Amino acid sequence: MHILVTNDDGVSAPGLLALAQALRPLGKVSVVAPDRNWSASGHVKTLHRPLRAKEVTLADGTPALASDGAPSDCVALALLGLVEKVDVVVSGINPNANIGHDVTYSGTVTAAMEAAIWGVPGVAVSLDSPEDHQGALDVRDNWDYGPAARVAREVVERVVRFGLPKDTLLNVNVPYLKYEEIRGVQVTRQGLRVYRDALVRREDPQGRPYYWIGGEAPTGVPEEGTDFGALKAGYVSVTPLHLDLTSYEALRSLREWW
């Protein structure tokens, strides 16, 4: 089996290394990842400039390819022939959870979505670091990605064994716990993410205004059966996502407009 590993935090991120190491027992692992951080980049397809990929080495000596494209670009490049035929694409490990509406922003999730577009099973893996563990990138480098990497391997084993429905990817979120403390796995639906964004206006030295989207960290509604609810209860959340975004519930009512 040939597994493609990518992420949205950049090729040097510790979560990517932990993921690649955990998946090696399952087969050949190739790494194609962005050369910089693309967090919250969404689903990007670069068409108006050339893309480059250079050979790099991960911290453990693993060879990898670093691209100046987005996470979804990395997957497209690989599946178009940059590496040999890929059987599964695994994206992560993201240092923060990707739940609810996060999936539309997340480069981690949309990398797995790109795989599904190409007909290849895709899995996105994120770690639900609690607020007291959140911090700058140098702080995140010391986090323990081991339990999430172990969970990722178990999920991929099942994907290989059972397969995924057409146009479907898995969004996996792992609580920040020791592996033995994780209560199990719940197959969930998307929950409600609560954003607390705020507009921050400042001025540059010439007096011209510029803006940041700031605010407090997002929270969520811990409903039973949802990704956020599972995480808060100490479970791994596995949410199947489908490429078809049609609101079938609204189809009938909208057809009555005409």
**pLDDT tens readout for residues 52-79:** 999 999 999 999 999 999 999 999 999 9
Domain that holds residue 145: 2-192+222-255
Structure tokens at 226: 């949802």
The count of other CB atoms within 10 Å of the CB of residue 237 is 29
Q: What is the CATH number of the domain that holds 105?
A: 3.40.1210.10
Q: What is the pLDDT of residues 152-182, one digit of tens each?
A: 999 999 999 999 999 999 999 999 999 999 9
CA 50 vs. chain centroid, Å, equals 24
* Assigned domain for 209 exists: no
Closest CA to 171 of 189, 154, 146, 157: 189
Instruction: Please determine, for residue 134, whether its predicted confidence score (pLDDT) is greater than 90.
Output: no
**Which residue do the tokens 């479907």 mark?**
168
Residue 59 near residue 33, CB atoms below 8 Å:
no
d(CA 125, CA 163): 17
pTM, whole model, 2 decimals? Answer: 0.93
* Assigned domain for 59 exists: yes
Mean local confidence (pLDDT), 32-55: 96
Indicate the number of domains in the chain.
1
State yes or no: cis peptide before 93, omega within 30 of 0: yes
The pLDDT of residue 140 is: 57
CA 213 vs. chain centroid, Å, equals 21
d(CA 134, CA 130): 7
Instruction: Please determine, for residue 133, whether its predicted confidence score (pLDDT) is greater than 90.
Output: no
* Assigned domain for 58 exists: yes
d(CA 185, CA 157): 14
The count of other CB atoms within 10 Å of the CB of residue 41 is 19
* Assigned domain for 212 exists: no
* Assigned domain for 215 exists: no
